[in-house]
Amino acid sequence: MDLHDKKQPYDEHDDLEEELLEEETDDILDDEEYQEDDEEAEEESAVKDDGASQPKKQKNLGVYLAMALCLVALGVGAWATYDTVVKISDVTQDTASSSAPQSSTAEVNQTVSGVPKDNVMEDNLPIAESEVVSESASSEETVSSEVVSEQPVESQVPEYYNYPVAGQEILNGFSNGDPVHNMTMDDWRTHDGLDIGAEKGQNVMSIGAGTVVDSYEDIMWGNVLVIQHGDIEVRYCGLTDKSLLAAGDTVEDGQILGTVGTIPIEEKLGAHLHIQMKKEGVWIDPTRVLKEAA
pTM > 0.75: yes or no:
no
Query: In order along the chain (294 residues), what is the average pLDDT of each group of 10 residues?
Result: 47 66 71 66 62 59 85 80 66 51 43 45 40 48 47 56 91 96 96 96 96 96 97 96 89 96 95 97 96 61
Q: Residue 75: its pLDDT value, please?
A: 81
Residue 213 lies in a domain: yes
What domain count does the chain have? 3
Residue 277 lies in a domain: yes
User: Are 237 and 254 a contacting pair, CB within 8 Å?
Assistant: no
Residue 266 lies in a domain: yes
Residue 93 lies in a domain: yes
Residue 43 lies in a domain: yes
Q: Residue 230: its pLDDT value, please?
A: 96
Residue 228 lies in a domain: yes
Q: Residue 64: its pLDDT value, please?
A: 84
* Domain boundary residue, one of 99, 126, 141: 99
Quote the Cα angle for 213-214-217, to 5°: 160
Q: Three-state SS across 146-178?
A: HHHHHHHHHHHCCCCECCCCCCCCEEECCCCCC
User: Are 158 and 208 a contacting pair, CB within 8 Å?
Assistant: yes
Co-location of 174 and 280 in the same domain: yes
The domain that holds 189 is classified in CATH as 2.70.70.10
Q: Which domain holds residue 94?
A: 1-99
Q: How many Å apart are CA 245 and CA 259, to the nearest integer? A: 14
Co-location of 132 and 175 in the same domain: no
Co-location of 59 and 128 in the same domain: no
Residue 294 lies in a domain: no
User: Are 263 and 185 a contacting pair, CB within 8 Å?
Assistant: no
Q: What is the CA radius of gyration of the chain?
A: 63
